[in-house]
Amino acid sequence: MKNILFVASEGVPFIKTGGLADVVGSLPKCIDKKYFDVRVMIPKYSCIKQELKDKMKYKTHFYMDFNWKSEYVGILEAKVDGIIYYFIDNESLFTGFKIYSDNVIDEITKFSFFSKAALSALPLIGFRPDVIHCHDWQTGLVPVYLKERFQGNEFFRGIKTVMTIHNLKFQGKWDVKTVKSITGLPDYFFTPDKLEAYKDANLLKGGIVYADAVTTVSPTYAEEIKTAFYGEGLDGLLNARAGSLRGIINGIDYDDFNPETDKNIVCPYNAVNFRKEKIKNKRALQAELGLEQDDKKFMIGIVSRLTDQKGFDLIAYIMDELCQEDVQIVVLGTGEERYENMFRHFDWKYNQKVSANIYYSDELSHKIYAASDAFLMPSLFEPCGLSQLMALRYGTIPIVRETGGLKDTVEPYNEYESTGTGFSFRNYNAHEMLATIRYAKYVFYQKKREWNKMIDRAMAADFSWHVSAKNYQEMYDWLIG
């Protein structure tokens, strides 16, 4: 039996702000239990819901030198869906209404503490991992501490580490002097070939340098981050580590996202009966949101954080033009104020055509996946992207830019060979996007049989976690040897 420990700042069902939590919550359940014992370790935040806290049992506690004082470290344990979760408890560091704050020093302090405490806790919980799988910058110091102060201890010798980059944009950077003082790491580690980058200390960089393997969440993104445009200042290092870098696409939970059993939608459907049944969800959503009741309107769904990364400047540029046509646009999400206000404005201006829902609702997101004809994701960069996978699952045709995971998961429609599961455009250009939307709309109206065959292929595609899990298992085997 090979032991794997996931160490991360969030994980479903306990705490979630984004896709990272889905990965940490879903992937361990899909890894083969015959060969692997996978467990998860996250901080015990005070903002975890009480009914979830009630599942945790006290295991042990100890004191640890950190940031010039002796800090309490509590360890709790819970079992959910057959997976054992460990929680690192320290009230002074993990208290607050939200799990992340805008104060960078606070963030670096609490996650440096978490990284060191996670390693220190291992001998006390009776679980020695063969591989520690670290996620994003918050756990970047785990491979560093492992090489720095834990190597002298027999228990830790030979433990391998994996560093998974979910989004390279976030790195955990601050000035060297402060980070050195907080972490207690010696000068040796703060050089340009280790943690120092452009005069700052960089926690993610430390993880990439010291991990035995580096992964990211799609093969295309693994290639893109070796270039200056996508590399966020770390492209040189990622090229140097190219031999240990691989991209493994994320999955989605096929039980949660299943149009046949989805409790959130008005009319369940499947790959056999969607031609008759899917449309009923569109009618229901048009009625619910006060849009014009018309089966023939080409409905485009958008469920997203409203930020620059997601390509909303392109949408802003062509929105007036697009709204002159036979379309309906349904938006759900929050984010940058200018995009929230842009969609509110177009909702006011084209009330029958645009519905702007500037909040987040899991239920409404499912209704949009089920009701829409197409789903728009024109991202500037997209490490993996999960929305396009959900759209495919619901037979809603994605229109995407060819970047990162979007390029890996959406096969562009080819009218000559009758292949493909969606539409894509290459350049980050508003009119190229508009032309692609128009082409999709043309196929929808003029070639209905081709459109339906595309839905067949989209719903047959398999992006469940089981596929990704096999790739991770291969990597663990390769590492453990």
Write down the pLDDT at residue 18. 80
Write down the pLDDT at residue 152. 85
Judge residue 71's burial from the number of C-beta atoms within 10 Å of its C-beta, 0-12 exposed, 13-18 middle, 19 or more buried: middle
Write down the pLDDT at residue 293. 94
E-assigned strands of 333-385?
354-357, 374-377
Write down the pLDDT at residue 96. 86
- Its pTM stands at 0.93
Which ranges of the chain have pLDDT less than 50? Answer: none
**Which residues make Cβ contacts (< 8 Å) with residue 401, sequence separation at least 6?**
311, 377, 378, 379, 380, 382, 424, 425, 426, 428, 433
**Which residues make Cβ contacts (< 8 Å) with residue 384, sequence separation at least 6?**
19, 166, 217, 218, 221, 249, 250, 404, 405
Contact 162, 27 (CB under 8 A): no
Write down the pLDDT at residue 177. 97
Q: 261 — phi, psi (to 5°)? A: -120, 5
Write down the pLDDT at residue 149. 87
Write down the pLDDT at residue 2. 97
96-104: long-range contacts at Cβ-Cβ below 8 A with a sequence spacing of 24 or more?
Answer: 96/45, 96/46, 96/47, 97/47, 98/17, 98/47, 99/9, 99/10, 99/15, 99/17, 99/43, 99/45, 99/47, 100/9, 100/17, 104/173, 104/174
Write down the pLDDT at residue 97. 87
| Reduced 3-state DSSP string for 254-289 | CCCCCCCCCCCCCCCCCCCCHHHHHHHHHHHHHHHH
**Distance in angstroms (rounded) separating the CA atoms of residues 397 and 111:** 40
> Within 10 A of 320 (CB to CB), how many other CB atoms are there?
11
The domains found in the chain, sorted by start residue, are 2-251+466-480 (3.40.50.2000), 274-461 (3.40.50.2000)
**Distance in angstroms (rounded) separating the CA atoms of residues 193 and 199:** 12
Write down the pLDDT at residue 428. 97
**Distance in angstroms (rounded) separating the CA atoms of residues 403 and 413:** 16
Write down the pLDDT at residue 476. 97
Contact 249, 405 (CB under 8 A): yes
The amino acid occupying position 238 is: L
